[in-house]
Chain A
């Protein structure tokens, strides 16, 4: 059975790709970057990071660029960039939908409150 390619990224996957957009990084640098970028909001466990890196390599989203001892450095590929952009657009749509709905809810809210008053 053919494997389903990645279509939607989880937060951890998204930030791993994000961390490689501007420069190549090794595992610990990716963790540090994600921790700084999200102010600790998105924790990246070692099992999660290792699995993501292995899966991304398998899917051709990243590639290994250097090996120094036990340190491996990774770079994003064109395919990875494309998936990142696709995910970014999806998130923008989500955010856009969310904001539009929230504005509509805020406009509707005062009326709703008045109706609920005795």
Chain B
């Protein structure tokens, strides 16, 4: 998947702050991009097809919806098993994101990151036990980093 052409870029720029909450929002997006609404929609469709846009959706503030306990659980998993285990951890219904990332030795031995959510920390800790038992013997040490504040959340923006 290569970069976007000049039309796509104008559309992405016009949508950076989101889709206007209007009954027919695409006219306004078209005006902002200097393009006809039909062209904008066709290009947006193509970008969804290509995976450039995952979906057009609302991003909620977890805290305001009662999920006040959010922990980034991190695990030191055998390299030979991490992909198989990562796929199984991700399938748990309380895991919102699951990634393999590089270790930063000696202080950071963890290579599997799984975001856990719950109404209370106690609830999250119970979920952590479930993840630990799923990983089993392939797991060395683990930790969890609770978030205490959103400092910024704006999403992706085109630079300049």
Q: Report whether chain A binds chain B.
A: no
Residues of A within 8 A of B (CB): none
